[in-house]
């Protein structure tokens, strides 16, 4: 890895620690977040050339504090806030960076920051954007590029998110004990959203975006380090590892999609599979069962099959039945229908898919047509399968999926 690459990795690791330290000390999340972004930019320019300082976290805190003070001084309407910041700034804090040990707990700050960025007052899209910028250390331009929107649009989204947090009166503190479980669930959902967008991009020319899956896995690892005894945190990390392990085999050289049953399994990441299996095995043995653990267990069954025809579909069916009872959703039902078809025949799967026809949550979604088309093809009804493949192709905004679905329809031409 190049020096610039090592610096970038270090900055992503330090970003939430530095922001947490500033917000803990000064409050004013919006001002602190802007200041930290400027400090990260300064480090990205300086460190590859001059070298990483002895105390990189302290260096960033010092520079970000200077930037924040400059911002406050530049706005006369915030003169009183400037005086408060100056009064609370320890002597010498703006002169030289201290050792990292002088700063608050990085682990506590990172976890608190995750909870803050996933505040329930924010929309899911805003939670994702703010988490990637504040906790992931990505610039606004990088977040915008990941989601294929203009930088100005993403800047407005992040700005509104920070203002929403401010208006909600959110403090930089762990949620009350009675809210912690629900808030942690939101954090897990946000990380899962980031991962899914990277693994199966919802739109655009590419099937997957490795930078997003890598960031989601990095943040999930950090969360697992902070909460090593939480079964669902371990389950989510295992699910990400087991799913991302297949990424090298998911596309042809031209970027077109390769379905799971046709993938060259020798190209799967054996180390990631081993780590994921170990994680889910350990957590299922000691923690209350949750939906992420069950999904990880399903992914493990797929990954441990040497060939597609060796897949233990009866075990997968049992796991989906458990998942549907524990965390029912139309997507779970669709996947359950595929497993049911593989065990009891395609007509059984089609009957289960039919129960979703009036579910408004899937209205216009291509996956309903895609699964029905697949099961109709297995059932020996090419005309109906062709019709639904084409309907699915019209509805997806992912170009690789669209080409794949159109290709399946074309192969069923009489």
319 — phi, psi (to 5°)? Answer: -65, -40
Q: Return d(Cα 198, Cα 331) in angstroms, integer.
A: 18
Tokens read off for 47: 């460190």
Residue linked to tokens 């500033």: 22
Mean pLDDT by 10 residues, the chain (414 residues): 73 87 85 88 89 90 87 60 51 43 58 87 88 83 78 91 88 84 90 87 78 88 91 97 96 92 96 97 92 97 97 98 95 96 98 93 88 97 97 92 95 88
Q: How far is CA 275 from CA 196, 224, 238, 270, 303, in A?
A: 20, 13, 7, 9, 12
Tokens read off for 262: 């046709």
Q: How much is the pLDDT for 80?
A: 56
Nearest to 111 by CA among 188, 174, 18, 195: 174
Q: How much is the pLDDT for 84?
A: 56
Q: How much is the pLDDT for 2?
A: 58
Q: How much is the pLDDT for 176?
A: 85
> Positive or negative, the Cα torsion across 67, 68, 74, 80?
negative
Helix (H, G, I), strand (E, B) or coil at 74: coil
Q: What is the DSSP string of 272-333?
A: HHHHHHHHHHHHHHHS---HHHHHHHHHHHHHH-SSGGG--HHHHHHHHHHHHHHS--HHHH
What is the Cα gyration radius of the chain? Answer: 24
Q: Return d(Cα 217, Cα 67) in angstroms, integer.
A: 31
268 — phi, psi (to 5°)? Answer: -65, 155
- Which H or E element spans position 266? none
Contact assessment for residue 303 and residue 266, using Cβ atoms and an 8 Å cutoff:
no
Q: Return d(Cα 19, Cα 340) in angstroms, integer.
A: 48
Q: Return d(Cα 341, Cα 324) in angstroms, integer.
A: 16
Q: How much is the pLDDT for 338?
A: 98
Q: Return d(Cα 411, Cα 390) in angstroms, integer.
A: 12
Q: Return d(Cα 375, Cα 350) in angstroms, integer.
A: 6
Describe the chain by its helix, strand, coil percentages, rounded to 5.
Answer: 75, 0, 25
Residue linked to tokens 């389950």: 235
**DSSP letter assigned to residue 135:** I
Q: pTM score, two decimals?
A: 0.82
């Amino acid at each position: 890895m190049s020096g610039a690459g090592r610096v970038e990795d270090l900055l992503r690791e330090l970003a939430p620690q530095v922001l947490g330290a500033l917000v803990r000390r000064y409050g004013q999340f919006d001002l602190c977040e802007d200041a930290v972004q400027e400090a990260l930019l300064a480090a990205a320019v300086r460190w590859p050339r001059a070298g990483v300082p002895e105390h990189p976290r302290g260096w960033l805190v010092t520079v970000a504090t200077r930037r924040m003070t400059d911002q406050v001084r530049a706005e006369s309407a915030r003169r009183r806030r400037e005086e408060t910041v100056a009064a609370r700034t320890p002597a010498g804090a703006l002169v030289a960076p201290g050792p990292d040990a002088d700063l608050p707990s990085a682990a506590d700050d990172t976890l608190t920051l995750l909870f803050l960025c996933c505040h329930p007052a924010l929309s899911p899209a805003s939670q994702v954007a703010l988490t990637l910028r504040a906790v992931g250390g990505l610039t606004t331009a990088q977040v915008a590029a990941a989601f294929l929107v203009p930088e100005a649009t993403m800047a407005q989204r992040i700005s509104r998110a920070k203002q929403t947090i401010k208006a909600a009166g959110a403090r930089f503190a762990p949620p009350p004990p009675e809210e912690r479980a629900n808030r942690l669930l939101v954090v897990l959902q946000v990380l899962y959203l980031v991962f899914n967008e990277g693994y199966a991009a919802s739109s655009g020319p590419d099937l997957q975006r490795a930078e997003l899956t890598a960031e989601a896995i990095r943040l999930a690892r950090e969360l697992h380090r902070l909460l090593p005894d939480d079964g669902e945190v371990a389950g989510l990390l295992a699910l990400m590892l087991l799913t991302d392990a297949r990424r090298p085999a998911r596309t042809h050289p031209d970027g077109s999609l390769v379905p799971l049953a046709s993938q060259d399994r020798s190209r799967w990441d054996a180390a990631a599979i081993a780590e994921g299996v170990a994680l889910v095995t350990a957590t299922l043995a000691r923690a209350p069962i949750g939906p992420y653990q069950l999904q990880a267990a399903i992914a493990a069954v797929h990954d441990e099959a040497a060939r597609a025809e060796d897949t233990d579909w009866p075990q997968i069916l049992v796991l989906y039945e458990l998942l549907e009872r524990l965390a029912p959703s139309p997507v779970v039902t669709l996947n359950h229908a595929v497993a049911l078809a593989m065990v009891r025949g395609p007509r059984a799967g089609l009957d289960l898919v039919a129960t979703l026809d009036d579910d408004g949550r899937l209205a216009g979604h291509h996956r309903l047509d895609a699964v029905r088309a697949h099961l109709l093809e297995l059932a020996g009804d090419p005309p109906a399968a062709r019709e639904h493949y084409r309907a699915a192709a019209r509805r997806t905004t992912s170009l690789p999926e669209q080409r794949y679905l159109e290709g399946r329809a074309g192969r069923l031409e009489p």
